[in-house]
Amino acid sequence: MKEKLTRNIGLKILSVILASVLWLVITNIDNPLESKSIRDVKVQILNENSIKSDERTYVVIENDYIDFTVRARRSIKDDLTARDFKVTADFHELTELADVITVPIKISAPGYGDEVVITDGEDQKMKIRLEDVKEESFKVNIVPRGEVAEGFHIGEKKASPNLINVKGPKNIVENIDQLIVEVDVTDASTLINRLERPKVIDEDGNEMDASKLSFSENYVAVELDMLKTKTVTVEVKTTGDPQYGYGISKIEYDPTTVLVAGKDYDLRDISKITIVEDVSGASDSIATERDIRKELPEGILLVGEDESVAINILVEKMDTKEFTLQPNEIDLVNKSDNINVFMGSTPIKVTVMGLSADLDELSITALRPYIDLETYRVGSNTIDLKLKNTKDNIVLVNKPVVNCYVTYKYS
């Protein structure tokens, strides 16, 4: 038996060696060693409480995330992801030199042992900075995201709590511009009640990393009311009179309609918004803006960006125009049926003042001159001439009078 085992021993050993070499050659051809880059791996911090306290904390200024390169057989390499690696920085091993504090970063692949080798990036270090701890209180701002259902508008917004204390590194806390909770309102038409996590925003409107911050409340209860919308007319009126000798030729304003929102019972009571502008004593045109919101009744909100109405009131100096009036063109008001009135044939001069555009179209018929006989007496009467003109901008300048004689009728 021994002779059989030792017979041609050299040849047998050579066969084993050749087989091993052949296996290695085949393995390297079919499953060679290859490199792979692993990027943006979060560094896990160990024993951070060794440098943290109520008054002091730290901020990572370099290598919070790292990249590195590994080498492994193709069959292993193709399946490798960042989750297969343990990347740590142990604060027990930190080194402090002047103002710079560094912590060595260790990389391993626990599930693969020596089959995965780190070839580049193994000697990286995390840099940190010690900072004082600061705590500050911030108002909770509710920020809707998306568009509500057509015909609806967001009404009252409530947050509970409405103030939250934020605690963390002083440098980070001092860069907080506002604290918000975002609420998705897409296609909403009914009351919204939700719990949302707060976010901190810097002065550029960007969301800040809150991993080093603690909040007095981790969730905020938000309530958003939904109101119906309605388009209403804007109307501008004037009160008072311009300076004597001046009149209003035109009133221009924009917008002429606005969109408002409210409960059904409040919307039923509003069809227009009236803005009154005082023109008392004006001798020049008036250009102004009025806040529409101040004219809204209780329970009604303004929707959109137009919060004010631009008003232009054109004030012009009046001209004068003279008419010659015949007695038979004068109406007799409050004339009793049992009297006769004789006014003779002497023409009467009438001078009126108004805007040039109105005077150009004005006729004696439009002035509708008249005398009031309510307090007449039998015999001679001197009665002031008056006008029934329908235009507000027409003013009687002179004081014409009508001489008439009154007698009773006899049957």
Residues 316-332: b if buried by 16+ CB within 10 A, e if exposed: bebbebebebebebbeb
- The predicted pLDDT at position 23 comes to 46
Domain boundary among 75, 95, 123: 123
- The predicted pLDDT at position 29 comes to 61
Residue 165 and residue 226 in contact, taking contact as beta carbons nearer than 8 Å: no
Is the pLDDT assigned to residue 212 strictly greater than 80?
A: yes
Residue 278 and residue 238 in contact, taking contact as beta carbons nearer than 8 Å: yes
| Residue 269 covered by a domain | yes
Q: Which residue has the higher pLDDT, 267 or 2?
A: 267
Residue 144 and residue 90 in contact, taking contact as beta carbons nearer than 8 Å: no
| Residue 367 covered by a domain | yes
Q: Reduced to 3 states, what is the DSSP secondary structure of residue 19?
A: helix
Same domain, 282 and 333: no
Q: Which residue has the higher pLDDT, 350 or 16?
A: 350
Same domain, 236 and 195: no
Sign of the CA dihedral with 24 first, then 29, 31, and 35 last: positive
Is the pLDDT assigned to residue 139 strictly greater than 60?
A: yes
Peptide bond into 110 cis (omega under 30): no
Q: What is the mean pLDDT of the chain?
A: 89
Domain boundary among 71, 105, 123: 123
CA distance 59 to 301: 45
Q: What is the CATH number of the domain that holds 358?
A: 2.170.120.30
Sign of the CA dihedral with 25 first, then 26, 29, and 32 last: negative
Taking residues 220-246, report their average pLDDT: 94
Same domain, 94 and 178: no
CA distance 102 to 90: 10
Is the pLDDT assigned to residue 380 strictly greater than 80?
A: yes
Q: How confident is the model at residue 4 (pLDDT cuts 50, 70, 90)?
A: low
Number of domains in the chain: 5
- The predicted pLDDT at position 25 comes to 47
Taking residues 236-246, report their average pLDDT: 93
Same domain, 197 and 261: no
Is the pLDDT assigned to residue 217 strictly greater than 60?
A: yes
- The predicted pLDDT at position 17 comes to 60
Taking residues 42-55, report their average pLDDT: 88
Same domain, 140 and 222: yes
CA distance 184 to 190: 13
CA distance 234 to 232: 7
Is the pLDDT assigned to residue 59 strictly greater than 70?
A: yes
| Most distant CA pair in the chain, distance | 178
| Residue 119 covered by a domain | yes
Closest CA to 120 of 35, 41, 44: 35
Is the pLDDT assigned to residue 169 strictly greater than 80?
A: yes
- The predicted pLDDT at position 362 comes to 86
Q: What is the CATH number of the domain that holds 154?
A: 2.170.120.40
Same domain, 281 and 337: no
Q: Reduced to 3 states, what is the DSSP secondary structure of residue 102?
A: strand
Peptide bond into 169 cis (omega under 30): no
Same domain, 323 and 355: yes
Sign of the CA dihedral with 375 first, then 379, 385, and 386 last: positive
- Write down the pTM of the prediction: 0.61
| Residue 117 covered by a domain | yes
Is the pLDDT assigned to residue 24 strictly greater than 90?
A: no
Same domain, 335 and 264: no
Same domain, 113 and 144: no
Strand partners, 221: 160, 195
Same domain, 14 and 67: no
| Residue 128 covered by a domain | no
Same domain, 253 and 204: no
| Residue 43 covered by a domain | yes
CA distance 140 to 215: 12
CA distance 83 to 122: 17
Domain boundary among 57, 90, 123: 123
Contact partners, residue 206, CB within 8 Å, separation at least 6: none
Q: How confident is the model at residue 130 (pLDDT cuts 50, 70, 90)?
A: confident
Residue 257 and residue 231 in contact, taking contact as beta carbons nearer than 8 Å: yes
- The predicted pLDDT at position 6 comes to 55
Q: How confident is the model at residue 28 (pLDDT cuts 50, 70, 90)?
A: low
Residue 127 and residue 60 in contact, taking contact as beta carbons nearer than 8 Å: yes
Residue 183 and residue 153 in contact, taking contact as beta carbons nearer than 8 Å: no
| Residue 393 covered by a domain | yes
Closest CA to 357 of 318, 388, 390: 318
- The predicted pLDDT at position 173 comes to 95
Taking residues 93-111, report their average pLDDT: 88
- The predicted pLDDT at position 3 comes to 57
Q: Which domain holds residue 257?
A: 228-317
